[in-house]
């Protein structure tokens, strides 16, 4: 079976390479000619563990190709996956302009029956609207079925998540189209991955409800952490004990500098918008976002608590990506924390193993120094602020770090250090929710 994937970003490239690895012939399309040219030359446009190998292997096997020619890709395919972006519009709703553009392009080129599968995260009702849009504008009188197949991969473990998902959700109205998409995922079906077959609206809602719930867990534990600090409790122990209850679960109960990334903030905002539009304001999720925004300032406040006024102080920031093992900085706490430190007069030196270029691209005017190593960032610093828990930060030479810093202040926004150990080494330490 031939598959076309439109939008070769995180989701499109991982899904395209993953489906090629299932044995399908996949053509990935993007309108960004630079990206396609780079991919044709074997260069992966972002950092994602295991992706380069997967892409190279399937390109070599002749199952995976890249093009900017949407018409040709669609002509060859029975199934067309839409993986374009759905960023936040200024009012918080999902901006569907990329989806609309793809729908109109498809309407232009469809010349035979196709199954159009939406992997992009889209508000409830979008797939029905998409079908209407294609039907309304199609040049040829051909049938189209629409399937909602939301993607749950996580950046940093995207390949593993795609190849071994917790579940596959397929929403649609045509039993034939559902069977075709199920067939694409046959290797997972055989591995007993749970399949949820449902209608379009339910499939769309599953994705938003899942992300909103995880974001709620993060904001919940951040609130408990802030309260622990005031009341003399240790949130790391609280979270561990809570998580042992299977009704609660351990995951996403790590306090930190607030959630970021390309999904949680925008998806929570979009769901809030859908609630408002439907006459059912989602108070809980409004609070989740408010708590998260406030949490991002905690790193700055904690730095001031240890260092005093920041004017003229040198602050080292370790970790810029929104989480480890990715170069993605979209909505990362670093995008707020670093400018805020600069605004308060600090001289900031940053280090991240892979995300510094991306950070620079997002904040090109920001006056900060980019260090080549964590120790270079920390040289002469009055405080070291850890924002992302990259593994290499867990194994820093703390004794050396202590010696090269002007003042031994450590703001550990991911609780990766043992307070007793670092205090013994002479650091003044603050974590999140540890009294
Ligand atoms: N990134 C994640 O971890 C993740 C996980 C699950 C779901 N999602 C959802 O998947 C969707 C895509 O996210 P992403 O992070 O992969 O986005 P991305 O920005 O990395 O990639 C989108 C790609 O689509 C391309 N594009 C836009 N319009 C196009 C068009 N008309 N024709 C061809 N290409 C076009 C862009 O050039 C870009 O390369 C979003 O809806 C997102 O919410 C993302």
Three-class SS string for 206-217? HHHHHHHHHHHH
Domain boundary among 274, 294, 314: 294
Tell me, yes or no, whether 232 and 191 share the same domain. Answer: no
Tell me, yes or no, whether 66 and 143 share the same domain. Answer: yes
Q: What CA dihedral angle connects 212, 213, 218 and 221, to 10 degrees?
A: 140
Q: Is residue 285 part of a domain?
A: yes
Tell me, yes or no, whether 364 and 267 share the same domain. Answer: no
How remote is the CA of residue 281 from the centroid of ligand 1, in Å? 28
- Would you state the pLDDT for residue 297? 97
Tell me, yes or no, whether 49 and 67 share the same domain. Answer: yes
Tell me, yes or no, whether 284 and 320 share the same domain. Answer: no
Q: Is residue 342 part of a domain?
A: yes
pLDDT band at 190 (very low <50, low <70, confident <90, very high): confident
- Would you state the pLDDT for residue 276? 97
Is residue 1 over pLDDT 90?
A: no
- What atom of ligand 1 comes closest to residue 12's alpha carbon? 16
Tell me, yes or no, whether 32 and 156 share the same domain. Answer: yes
Catalytically active residues are: 263
Q: Is residue 435 part of a domain?
A: no
Query: In terms of DSSP bridges, do strands 2-6 and 64-67 run parallel, antiparallel, or are they unpaired?
Result: unpaired
Tell me, yes or no, whether 55 and 170 share the same domain. Answer: yes
Better pLDDT: 435 or 351:
351
- Would you state the pLDDT for residue 189? 84
Indicate which residue's Cα is closest to atom 1 of ligand 1.
10
Indicate which residue's Cα is closest to atom 31 of ligand 1.
102
Q: Is residue 367 part of a domain?
A: yes
Indicate which residue's Cα is closest to atom 35 of ligand 1.
7
pLDDT band at 5 (very low <50, low <70, confident <90, very high): very high
Strand partners, 145: 115
Domain that holds residue 417: 297-430
Which residues sit with their C-beta closer than 6 Å to ligand 1? 6-12, 29-32, 35, 83-86, 98, 101-102, 120-121, 151, 153, 155, 262-263
Count of domains in the chain?
3
**Integer Cα distance of 219 and 295 in angstroms:** 8
Angle, CA 234 vertex, CA 233 and CA 240 arms, to 5°: 130
- What atom of ligand 1 comes closest to residue 152's alpha carbon? 6
How remote is the CA of residue 12 from the centroid of ligand 1, in Å? 7
How remote is the CA of residue 10 from the centroid of ligand 1, in Å? 6
The mean per-residue pLDDT over the stretch 372-388 comes to 98
Tell me, yes or no, whether 243 and 388 share the same domain. Answer: no
User: How many CA atoms lie within 13 Å of 6's alpha carbon, on the beta-carbon side?
Assistant: 26
**Integer Cα distance of 376 and 370 in angstroms:** 9
**Residue 42: how many CB atoms within 10 A of its CB?**
11
Tell me, yes or no, whether 174 and 51 share the same domain. Answer: yes
Q: Is residue 76 part of a domain?
A: yes
Tell me, yes or no, whether 46 and 161 share the same domain. Answer: yes
How remote is the CA of residue 6 from the centroid of ligand 1, in Å? 9
Is residue 435 over pLDDT 80?
A: no
- Would you state the pLDDT for residue 225? 98
- What atom of ligand 1 comes closest to residue 7's alpha carbon? 24
Domain boundary among 294, 321, 345: 294
- Per-residue pLDDT of 287-316, as tens digits, reads 999 999 999 999 999 999 999 999 999 999
Residue among 13, 15, 85, 328 whose CB has most ligand 1 atoms within 8 A, to mutate: 85
Q: Is residue 303 part of a domain?
A: yes
Tell me, yes or no, whether 124 and 228 share the same domain. Answer: no
Tell me, yes or no, whether 111 and 30 share the same domain. Answer: yes
- Would you state the pLDDT for residue 372? 98
- Per-residue pLDDT of 419-429, as tens digits, reads 999 999 999 99
Residue among 6, 12, 207 whose CB has most ligand 1 atoms within 8 A, to mutate: 12
- Per-residue pLDDT of 7-63, as tens digits, reads 999 999 999 999 999 999 999 999 999 999 999 999 999 999 999 999 999 999 999
Residue among 4, 5, 6, 9 whose CB has most ligand 1 atoms within 8 A, to mutate: 9
- What atom of ligand 1 comes closest to residue 150's alpha carbon? 7
The domain that contains 320 carries what CATH number? 3.40.50.720
- Would you state the pLDDT for residue 365? 96
- What atom of ligand 1 comes closest to residue 35's alpha carbon? 39
How remote is the CA of residue 217 from the centroid of ligand 1, in Å? 25
- Per-residue pLDDT of 80-130, as tens digits, reads 999 999 999 999 999 999 999 999 999 999 999 999 999 999 999 999 999
Domain boundary among 294, 309, 342: 294
How remote is the CA of residue 98 from the centroid of ligand 1, in Å? 9
- Would you state the pLDDT for residue 414? 98
Q: Give the chain's mean pLDDT.
A: 97
Burial category of 19 from C-beta neighbours within 10 Å (exposed 0-12, middle 13-18, buried 19 and up) = buried
């Amino acid at each position: 079976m031939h598959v076309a994937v439109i939008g070769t970003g995180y989701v499109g490239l991982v899904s395209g390479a993953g489906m090629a690895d299932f044995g399908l012939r996949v053509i990935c399309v993007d309108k960004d000619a630079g990206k396609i040219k780079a991919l044709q030359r074997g260069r992966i446009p972002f950092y994602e563990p295991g992706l380069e190998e997967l892409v190279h292997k399937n390109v070599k096997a002749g199952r995976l190709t890249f093009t900017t020619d949407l018409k040709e890709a669609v002509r060859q395919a029975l199934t067309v996956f839409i993986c374009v972006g759905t960023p936040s519009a200024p009012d918080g709703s999902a901006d569907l302009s990329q989806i609309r553009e793809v729908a109109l392009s498809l309407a232009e080129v469809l010349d035979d029956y196709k199954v159009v599968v939406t992997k992009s995260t889209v508000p409830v009702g979008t797939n029905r609207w998409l079908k209407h849009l294609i039907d309304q504008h199609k040049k040829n009188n051909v049938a189209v079925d629409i399937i909602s197949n939301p993607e749950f991969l996580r950046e940093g473990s995207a390949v593993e998540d795609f190849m071994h998902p917790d579940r596959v959700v397929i929403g649609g109205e045509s039993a034939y189209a559902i069977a075709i998409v199920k067939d694409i995922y046959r290797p997972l079906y055989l591995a007993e991955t749970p399949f949820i077959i449902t209608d379009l609206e339910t499939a769309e809602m599953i994705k938003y409800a899942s992300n909103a719930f995880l974001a709620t867990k993060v904001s919940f534990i951040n609130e408990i952490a802030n309260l622990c600090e005031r009341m003399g409790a240790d949130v790391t122990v609280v979270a561990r004990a809570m998580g042992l209850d299977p009704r609660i679960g351990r995951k996403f109960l790590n306090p930190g500098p607030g959630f970021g990334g390309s999904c949680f903030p925008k998806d929570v905002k979009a769901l809030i918008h859908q609630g408002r539009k439907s006459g059912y304001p989602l108070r809980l999720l409004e609070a989740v976002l408010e708590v998260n925004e406030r949490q991002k300032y905690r790193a700055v406040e904690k730095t001031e608590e240890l260092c005093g006024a920041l004017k003229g102080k040198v602050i080292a920031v370790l970790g810029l990506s929104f989480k480890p093992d990715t170069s993605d900085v979209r909505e990362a706490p670093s995008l707020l924390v670093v400018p805020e430190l600069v605004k308060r007069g600090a001289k900031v030196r940053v280090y991240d193993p892979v995300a510094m270029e991306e950070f620079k691209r997002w904040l090109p005017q920001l006056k900060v120094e980019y260090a080549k190593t964590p120790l270079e960032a920390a040289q002469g610093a009055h405080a070291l602020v850890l924002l992302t828990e990259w593994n290499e930060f867990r194994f820093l030479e703390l004794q050396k770090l202590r010696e090269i810093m002007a003042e031994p202040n450590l703001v550990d926004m991911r609780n990766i250090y043992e307070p007793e150990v670092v205090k013994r080494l002479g650091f003044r330490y603050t974590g999140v929710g540890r009294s």
